[in-house]
């Protein structure tokens, strides 16, 4: 690299309490370069971006822009020193006119107009209130605003996600032309297709550290996936012994409980079809923002689908409210416990809530105590602080959200990342419980962001990319590298299909 380095960050580290979000990240971008920043969920991409744009401060490391130390305390300062970022969610105030939004960031109008038309939006009225414009247009405006201040380094986070194809094409075109100037672009994307078409080099993060910088060339996808995965894990977790073998063998023959067909919702969930069988734990794997949130919201009755159908035991269902989904046997455990719990109320009231939804009359306290007690025992909830759920530990809180449905009796359990941010022991207990439920004839659909744990709990896995199902694996073929490749939309390797036993057989 003989080019002048526009941005040179090295040894950047950031701790949140005891958790190291970044341990040793580096990123160097030269003039005229389009540089991809890659990493699996939780590798530290967003922390690095926040540090570069001044949203959070780093603990150690140095960041140079054009060779000068870059010390910023706010995105506005970052902008003045030549670094501008465009996020997935447009940073536009919806209740202001477009022109007022531009004034807020001191954006020159003429260059802005130029870039807007370059990006393919021709009939923009600056007096229009931002709220009235479609999201895709707002994202383009956000980008045009960034381009108008001619930043040295432009940072684009998932810029093309949820853009219609023609706009995405224009955006990529404009970004490509930035690469022919003396400026630079940092491009964050999960799409190899875009990266190989656009970028010159890629920096790969894993577990908070930069693990490699590669030139983009033919076949580099393999190398990047390898870097993101790291050295083969020395099997820290054995797949739990399958005490329920009969069921898992039955599953291929078992009848479907939940059939999802060509389901679409919002801009992200495009076309998803799969079957969840009786007695099965079906995993869902996807990178962030591939439509999995919309999928679970639709299945649990929080959101109406824009296309496609949901059938249970062969009967088509329409959910207008979660109560409809619950009646059909579909119950939901969201990843964020705060969404699911009455924090000021007791464990008992939290678990008994679905009963109260069904009947407003007097409660049979003895029967309730019995049902709640059984669910508490089964999940081994620590009830020392049961007066208020907010005094329980995170793991125990998550157990309460599941216990609620155990007490009601579960046909089909929808779990969205049920083990996010909880301790390993509780994690194991939850996995064991999900398997046990399936063994007793329930069906479980579980999205997890922790790929290495898929084999511990699932019978099969569907992988979603760009709002569509890209692959389905039986659990024994679903090791982490295979899932990672599939999650990035790469084709299967011939070798993995053979399914050599990477793990010791049970």
**Site for other proteins, rule CB under 8 A:** 300, 302, 321-323, 326-327, 332, 334, 338-345, 349, 352-363, 365, 387-388, 390-391, 404
Q: How far apart, in whole angstroms, are the C-alpha atoms of residue 463 and residue 282? A: 11
| Residue 383 Cβ vs other proteins, minimum distance, rounded to whole Å | 15
| Nearest to other proteins of 407, 451 (CB atom) | 407
Q: For 11-40, b where at least 16 C-beta lie within 10 A, e where not — what string? A: bbbbeeeeebbbbbbbbbbbbbbbbbbbbb
User: How many Å separate Cα 352 from the centre of its chain?
Assistant: 31
Q: Which is nearer to other proteins, 235 or 394 (CB)?
A: 394
- 121 in Cβ contact with 163 (< 8 Å): no
- H or E element that contains 311: strand 307-312
Q: How far is the CB of 360 from other proteins (least distance, A)?
A: 4
* 3-class DSSP state of 234: coil
**CB nearer other proteins, residue 41 or residue 388:** 388
Contact 5, 30 (CB under 8 A): yes
What does each C-alpha distance from 148 to 107, 116, 119, 161, 191 come to in angstroms? 7, 9, 12, 22, 26
Identify the residue whose tokens are 């490509």: 176
- Spatial contact of 383 and 403, defined as CB atoms under 8 Å apart: no
Among the listed residues 357, 305, 296, the one whose alpha carbon sits nearest the alpha carbon of residue 332 = 296
Query: Whose Cβ is closer to other proteins: residue 352's or residue 487's?
Result: 352
Residue pair 441/281 in contact (Cβ under 8 Å)? The answer is: no
E strands along 144-215, which residues?
Answer: 153-157, 184-188, 201-206, 209-215
Least separation, in Å, of the C-beta of 336 and other proteins? 10
- Output 87 or 302, the one with its CB closest to other proteins: 302
- Shortest Cβ distance from residue 11 to other proteins (Å)? 41
Instruction: Between 333 and 487, name the residue whose CB sits nearer to other proteins.
Output: 333
Nearest approach in angstroms of CB 431 to other proteins is 22
The nearest distance, CB 334 to other proteins, in angstroms, is 7
- CA of 134: how far to CAs of 100, 115, 129, in Å? 18, 18, 11
- Between 176 and 420, name the residue whose CB sits nearer to other proteins: 420
Q: Which is nearer to other proteins, 163 or 352 (CB)?
A: 352
Q: In the bound complex, what is the minimum distance in angstroms from residue 395's beta carbon to other proteins?
A: 18
- Asked whether the CA dihedral 305, 449, 280, 497 is positive or negative, the reply is positive
Yes or no: say if 265 and 294 are a contact pair by the CB < 8 Å rule.
Answer: yes
Instruction: Tell how far CA 272 is from the center of its chain.
Output: 17
Query: DSSP class of residue 161?
Result: T
Residue 163, helix vs strand vs coil: coil
Question: Taking the complex as a whole, how short is the minimal distance between the CB of residue 402 and other proteins, in angstroms?
Answer: 13
Q: Which two tokens stand for residue 110?
A: 């003429």
Comparison of 185 and 340: residue with beta carbon closer to other proteins: 340
Element (H or E) spanning 410, and its range? none
CB of 471 to other proteins, least distance (A): 30
Query: Which residue lies nearer to other proteins by CB, 21 or 375?
Result: 375
H or E element in which residue 8 lies: strand 5-16
Min dist. Cβ of residue 264 to other proteins (A): 23
């Amino acid at each position: 690299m003989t080019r002048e380095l526009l941005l040179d960050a090295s040894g950047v580290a950031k701790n949140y309490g005891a958790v190291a979000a970044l341990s040793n990240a580096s990123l160097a971008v030269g003039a005229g370069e389009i540089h991809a920043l890659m990493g699996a969920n939780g590798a530290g991409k967003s922390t690095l971006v926040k540090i570069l744009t001044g949203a959070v401060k780093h603990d150690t490391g140095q960041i140079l822009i054009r060779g000068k130390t870059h010390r910023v305390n706010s995105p506005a300062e970052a902008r003045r020193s030549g670094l501008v970022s465009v996020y997935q969610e447009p940073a536009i105030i919806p209740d202001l006119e477009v022109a007022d939004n531009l004034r807020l960031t001191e954006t020159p109008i003429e260059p802005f107009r130029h870039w807007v038309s370059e990006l393919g939006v021709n009939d923009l009225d600056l007096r229009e209130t931002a709220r009235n414009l479609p999201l895709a247009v707002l994202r383009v405006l956000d980008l045009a605003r960034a381009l108008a201040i001619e930043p040295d380094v432009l940072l684009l986070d998932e810029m093309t996600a949820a853009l219609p194809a023609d706009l995405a094409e224009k955006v990529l075109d404009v970004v490509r032309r930035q690469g022919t100037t003396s400026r630079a672009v940092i491009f964050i994307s999960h799409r190899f297709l875009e990266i190989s078409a656009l970028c010159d080099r890629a920096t790969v993060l894993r577990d908070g550290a930069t693990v490699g910088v590669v030139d983009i060339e033919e076949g580099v996808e393999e190398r990047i996936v390898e870097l993101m995965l790291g050295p083969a894990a020395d099997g820290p977790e054995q797949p739990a012994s399958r005490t329920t073998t009969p069921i898992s063998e039955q599953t291929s023959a078992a009848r479907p409980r939940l059939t999802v067909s060509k389901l679409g919702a919002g801009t992200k969930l495009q076309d998803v079809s799969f079957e969840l069988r009786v007695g099965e734990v079906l995993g869902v794997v996807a990178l962030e923002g591939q439509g999995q949130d919309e999928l679970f919201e639709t299945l649990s009755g929080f959101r109406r689908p824009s296309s496609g159908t949901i059938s249970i035991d062969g009967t088509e269902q329409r959910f207008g409210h979660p109560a409809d989904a619950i009646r059909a046997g579909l119950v939901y455990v969201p990843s964020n416990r705060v969404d699911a719990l009455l924090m000021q109320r007791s464990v008992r009231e939290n678990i008994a809530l679905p009963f109260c939804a069904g009947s407003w009359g007097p409660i049979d306290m003895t029967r309730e105590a019995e049902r709640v007690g059984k669910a508490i025992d089964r999940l081994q909830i620590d009830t020392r602080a049961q007066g208020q759920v907010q005094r329980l530990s995170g793991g125990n809180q998550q157990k309460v959200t599941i216990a609620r449905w155990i007490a009601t009796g579960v046909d089909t359990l929808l779990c969205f990342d049920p083990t996010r941010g909880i301790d390993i022991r509780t994690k194991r207990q939850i996995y064991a419980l999900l398997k046990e439920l399936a063994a007793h004839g329930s069906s479980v659909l579980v999205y997890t962001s922790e790929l290495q744990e898929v084999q511990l709990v699932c019978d099969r896995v569907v992988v979603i990319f760009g709002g569509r199902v890209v692959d389905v694996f039986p659990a024994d073929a679903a090791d982490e590298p295979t899932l990672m490749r599939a999650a990035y939309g790469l084709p299967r390797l011939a070798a993995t299909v053979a399914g050599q036993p990477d793990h010791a057989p049970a």
